């Protein structure tokens, strides 16, 4: 786990890229990690990733205007990464710090299906589950 060439490449092209995009309020950088036809699945339903990205982009713009900062970290329970396709599950810890310094964390279990194109890895499906707590995050392997 974590040392296969595809896993290392996925980390660089997807998870590190998303983490950087969140910190930099860069919705275009985040969008580049998803296939154009990707689907987001949440406890509330499904939607094209384009609709999710539009909402996330608005949130990023609002954070820029209000002086808020955000970050996201990933931990994985399962990584079935092959040469052309991958399935990964784990949690992400999304933290927002407002201009007054108060931080709110959202710890979300998730699953992702990825495909390797000619040039890069892309998420084709992201499933987010109901939020969990810091104890579950701390129990997850790094």
The tens digit of pLDDT for each residue in 87-139 reads 999 999 999 999 999 999 999 999 999 999 988 999 999 999 999 999 999 99
Mean pLDDT value across the chain: 94
pLDDT at site 4? 64
With 0-12 / 13-18 / 19 or more C-beta atoms within 10 angstroms meaning exposed / middle / buried, residue 129 is middle
Q: Which of 1, 16, 15, 4 is nearest to 83 (CA)?
A: 4
- Checking if the pLDDT of 1 tops 50, the result is no
Report the share of the chain in percent with pLDDT over 90: 92
- Where does the pLDDT of residue 21 fall: very low under 50, low under 70, confident under 90, or very high at 90 and above? very high
Report the share of the chain in percent with pLDDT over 70: 96
pLDDT at site 142? 65
- Listed as own residue / partner, the contacts of 86-91 with beta carbons closer than 8 Å and 24 or more positions apart are 86/6, 86/7, 86/10, 86/112, 86/113, 86/114, 86/115, 86/116, 86/121, 87/111, 87/112, 87/113, 87/114, 88/10, 88/112, 88/114, 90/140, 91/132, 91/136, 91/137, 91/140
Q: What's the order of all strands across the beta sheet hosting 34-42? A: 45-48, 34-42, 121-128, 103-116, 85-97, 69-81
Kind of pairing between the strands at 34-42 and 121-128:
parallel
pTM for the full predicted model: 0.92
- Checking if the pLDDT of 3 tops 80, the result is no
Q: What is the pLDDT of residues 34-65, one digit of tens each?
A: 999 999 999 999 999 999 999 999 999 999 99
């Amino acid at each position: 786990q974590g040392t296969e060439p595809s896993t290392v490449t996925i980390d660089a092209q997807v998870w590190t890229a998303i983490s950087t995009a969140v910190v930099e309020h860069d919705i275009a950088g985040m969008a580049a990690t998803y296939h154009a036809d990707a689907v987001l699945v949440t406890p509330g339903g499904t939607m094209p990733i384009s609709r999710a990205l539009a909402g996330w982009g608005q949130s990023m713009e609002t954070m820029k205007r209000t002086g808020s900062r955000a970050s996201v970290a990933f931990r994985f329970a399962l990584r079935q990464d092959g040469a052309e396709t991958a399935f990964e599950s784990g949690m992400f810890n999304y933290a927002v710090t407002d201009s007054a310094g108060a931080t709110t964390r959202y710890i979300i279990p998730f699953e992702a299906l990825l495909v390797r194109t000619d040039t890069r890895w892309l998420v084709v499906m992201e499933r987010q589950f109901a939020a969990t707590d810091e104890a579950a995050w701390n129990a997850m392997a790094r």
